[in-house]
Amino acid sequence: MHAFSSEKRREGKKIGLVPTMGFLHEGHLSLVDKAKEFSDVVVVSIFVNPTQFAPNEDFSQYPRDEERDKKLLSEKGVDAIFFPQADEIYGPGYQTYVDVTEITKKQEGEFRPTHFKGVTTIVSILFNCVMPDFAVFGQKDAQQASVIKRMVKDLKFNINIIIAPIVREADGLAKSSRNIYLSEKERKDALILSSSLRYAEQMILAGERNVNAIIMEMTKQIAKVDTAHIDYVRIVEIDSFHEDKNLASGKEYYILIACKIGNTRLIDNQLVKVISEKDLAI
């Protein structure tokens, strides 16, 4: 990987990296398109990273289909697939971790306390292997994207982080490799995530600024779905992931949901910009 990237850099080419865990869907392919906008050479990494899964999570069941992934990526015209094996990444005696300490504590961090340390560690390793100029992450994992931006800033990686929008199914469900776990009924029930987000967005656009009122309304709607079990519904400022009591004009927020549908844990979010009362009146 170093030899490939060094040669491309010597040729003056800009390298874009799309880190993935494979089992690719249109969401991942949209990240490839975004990487192509910014770079001359696109590298996609595929690595189901064991350190970001807790022992009780779905590492061993996580869906994998290497042949299909390779076919999709060659049809997309990516320049290289970086496909390391677990023992090449975490060889014998491995003991180095990267930990972003604050914005990892809440939201996903409350439910998956070891997750982000695994993510920032593998992403640092991938950055060092691929040596990209750009790296593209999906807004679907909004907290992950903000954590990585923080890490890049703090550790002075010379890499631009690009966040690409969420890709949804026609009925609104955010694309995710984990959607494959849903039964037919659960697939329908899962629409409560996107519909409650849209409802919350409408409340904010109509002038609601009280975070509790919005969260209570969303919670009420989700509670009507018998297979749904909420981990959290929160509204956070997009860079710090700080939770304010009231939304402030001019600021951007993510409305976040993490919710189990049956046994499948899904996350989704909606970015909203709060416009001022004055602009609302126009």
Determine the size of the site formed for ligand PAF (CB under 6 A). Answer: 10
Cα–Cα nearest to 46, from 61, 24, 29: 24
Tokens representing 179 are: 């959607």
Write the secondary structure of the chain as one string of H (helix), E (strand) and C (coil).
CHHHHHHHHHCCCCEEEEEECCCCCHHHHHHHHHHHHHCCEEEEEECCCHHHCCCCCCCCCCCCCHHHHHHHHHHHCCCEEECCCHHHHCCCCCCCCCCCCCCCCCCHHHHCCCHHHHHHHHHHHHHHHHCCCEEEEEHHHHHHHHHHHHHHHHCCCCCEEEEECCCECCCCCECCHHHHHCCHHHHHHCHHHHHHHHHHHHHHHCCCCEHHHHHHHHHHHHHCCCCEEEEEEEEEECCCCCCCCECCCCCEEEEEEEEEECCEEEEEEEEEECCCHHHHHC
CA 112 to chain centre: 14
- The footprint of ligand PAF on residues 142-181 (CB under 6 A) is 144
108 binds ligand PAF (CB under 6 A): no
Q: Which of 5, 8, 16, 19 binds ligand PAF (CB under 6 A)?
A: 19
20 near ligand PAF, rule: CB under 6 A: yes
**Nearest distance in Å: CB 252, ligand PAF:** 21
> Which of 5, 177 has the CB closer to ligand PAF?
177
Provide the minimum distance between the beta carbon of 125 and ligand PAF in the complex, in angstroms, as a whole number: 10
Determine whether 229 is an active site residue. no
CB 24 within 8 A of CB 73: yes
Binding mask 50-79 for ligand PAF (x = CB under 6 A): --x---------------------------
Distance in Å, CB of 135 to ligand PAF, minimum: 9
Q: Which is nearer to ligand PAF, 119 or 152 (CB)?
A: 119
- φ and ψ at 261, to 5 degrees? -115, 110
Shortest spacing between CB 225 and ligand PAF, in angstroms = 26
135 belongs to the binding site for ligand PAF (CB under 6 A): no
Closest approach of ligand PAF to the CB of residue 122, in Å:
5
Residue 123 contacts ligand PAF per CB under 6 A: yes
Which CB, 119 or 272, lies closer to ligand PAF?
A: 119
Indicate which single residue of 108, 133, 141, 268 sits in contact with ligand PAF (rule: CB under 6 A). Answer: 141
β-pairing verdict for 160-164 and 41-46: unpaired
Give the span between the Cα atoms of 44 and 26, in whole angstroms. Answer: 14
Q: Which token pair is 129?
A: 């292997």
The stretch near ligand PAF (CB under 6 A) out of 4-12, 118-126, 200-208, 217-225 is: 118-126
49 near ligand PAF (CB under 6 A): yes
Q: Looking at beta carbons only, is 21 or 73 nearer to ligand PAF?
A: 21
Catalytic residue among 28, 115, 229, 242: 28
Shortest reach from residue 145's CB to ligand PAF, in Å: 9
Binding site for ligand PAF (CB under 6 A): 19-21, 49, 52, 119, 122-123, 141, 144
Residues known to be catalytic = 28
